[in-house]
Amino acid sequence: SAVISQKPSRDICQRGTSLTIQCQVDSQVTMMFWYRQQPGQSLTLIATANQGSEATYESGFVIDKFPISRPNLTFSTLTVSNMSPEDSSIYLCSVQGVGGRGSRGPSETQYFGPGTRLLVL
């Protein structure tokens, strides 16, 4: 597996503002993803963070609201823009293909960061 860190671990923000969440991995990974977990709910994939190109967003999520960067194989950011109370959630990054391996098998496993707990007032 890999050691994944996220910053900030939690934040309280005012509506209309934006927050950028960072995800750092201690080794190169093939793929990085961003998920949202709303209170009492399961995980929903927001987007796949692609290195050197635009992220791939899932249905219901758009780049203007959740811009994502991935400048290299160990780092990604997710910005939650123009926040409203409905954005209060846990945001998690996950990684896959530790060591740059992408073949089927254990390297397909996704590992999750500790999450960022966001409360929007």
Q: 2, 7, 28, 45: which one contacts another protein (CB under 8 A)?
A: 45
39 near another protein, rule: CB under 8 A = no
- Label residue 78 exposed, middle or buried (CB < 10 Å: 0-12, 13-18, 19+): buried
112 binds another protein (CB under 8 A): yes
For another protein (CB under 8 A), the number of binding residues is 26
Identity of the residue numbered 119? L
Regarding 111 and contact with another protein (CB under 8 A), the answer is yes
Q: Which of 27, 28, 31, 61 binds another protein (CB under 8 A)?
A: 31
| Sign of CA pseudo-dihedral 118, 87, 15, 6 | positive
Residue 43 interacting with another protein (CB under 8 A): yes
Beta bridge partners of 119: 12
